[in-house]
Amino acid sequence: MSPRAGAAVGAAVGALVAAGALRTLLDRPPGGPAPWTRTNARSREVSLVAGPAYAVGAVAGLLSTRGVPLRTRLVAAASVGAAGALGCYDDLAGSGADRGLRGHLRALRAGRVTTGAVKVVGLGLTGVAVGAALRDDPLDAALAAVVVAGGANLANLLDLRPGRALKVALLAGAPALRRPGAAALVAAPLGAALAVLPADLHERVMLGDGGANALGAALGVAAAGEASTRGLLVLAATVSALTLASEKVSFTAVIARTPVLRELDALGRLP
């Protein structure tokens, strides 16, 4: 099977599994609706079950993809599953009191280990494992680790309005579909993203940390698997710069002040 055909299979499986998982979890959320219910930016109650639904779909799609070595597919699926699990842990067990890198560092200085800090360490280790598994050169492996772990965190920073993180992922990942090597790893995560996007836009669900971390890790793995050293340097620098900027600048405020970004951000949402 050609890489493009294999990518199409992965995208279809990812979308179908994510859609089915979302329906099942909305009907029968583990432990009942309460642990998964949050209030979004417009004071509407939404469910976090989109997170595990997305992660399950992306993992299933990656495992079904053809055109790339089995080892690569297993590494990609394991990293997305790990990122999703770490995010869900933070969603369900975290208090939300300590946010951002500064918040977690303040808590550590005060002798408290937050669920967010556990997640950050876990994402870092996931990135290191992916880098070591996919890249032979030590520099490439280190840069890949930053791209995967940083991408997982950055997607979470974007998940502040309905559909925003998914739209950014679809726009960022779509160009890779033209390259056979990258398409095989990015198609499944994008297929799963398309499946949960309508419910996110209609404010029935939100990705939460579980879905956003899995989404960002998936795109990071796809990039880490095929980018040149220069490409990895650019990606790592971009992800790091945006993460640091988020501590000082509100992405939502920047989007609101930029007409094109504002229109794209609002596209498809409820009035």
Residue 10 is predicted with a pLDDT of: 95
**168 token code pair:** 């950014």
Per-residue pLDDT band at 261 (split at 50, 70, 90): very high
Q: Looking at the DSSP assignment, which residues form a beta bridge with residue 205?
A: 47
88-92, 179-183, 258-262, 267-271, range with the lowest pLDDT: 179-183
Residue 179 is predicted with a pLDDT of: 83
Query: Alpha-carbon distance 58 to 185, whole Å?
Result: 10
Question: Hunting for tokens 């950050």 — which residue is that?
Answer: 120
CB 80 within 8 A of CB 14: no
- Each residue of 183-221: pLDDT tens digit? 889 999 999 999 999 999 999 999 999 999 999 999 999
Higher pLDDT, 178 or 52: 52
Higher pLDDT, 80 or 246: 80
Residue 102 pLDDT exceeds 90: no
Higher pLDDT, 114 or 77: 77
Residue 111 is predicted with a pLDDT of: 63
Residue 67 is predicted with a pLDDT of: 81
Listed by start position, the domains of the chain span 3-266
Residue 56 pLDDT exceeds 90: yes
Residue 226 pLDDT exceeds 90: no
User: What are the backbone angles phi and psi of residue 64, rounded to the nearest 5°?
Assistant: -90, -15
- Each residue of 19-46: pLDDT tens digit? 999 999 999 999 999 999 999 989 999 9
Residue 98 pLDDT exceeds 60: no
Higher pLDDT, 27 or 6: 27
Residue 69 pLDDT exceeds 70: yes
Task: Give the residue-averaged pLDDT of 241-266.
Answer: 94
Query: Alpha-carbon distance 192 to 57, whole Å?
Result: 5
Residue 104 pLDDT exceeds 60: no
Residue 134 pLDDT exceeds 90: yes
Number of Cβ atoms within 10 Å of the Cβ of 146: 23
Which SS3 state, helix, strand or coil, does residue 104 take?
A: helix
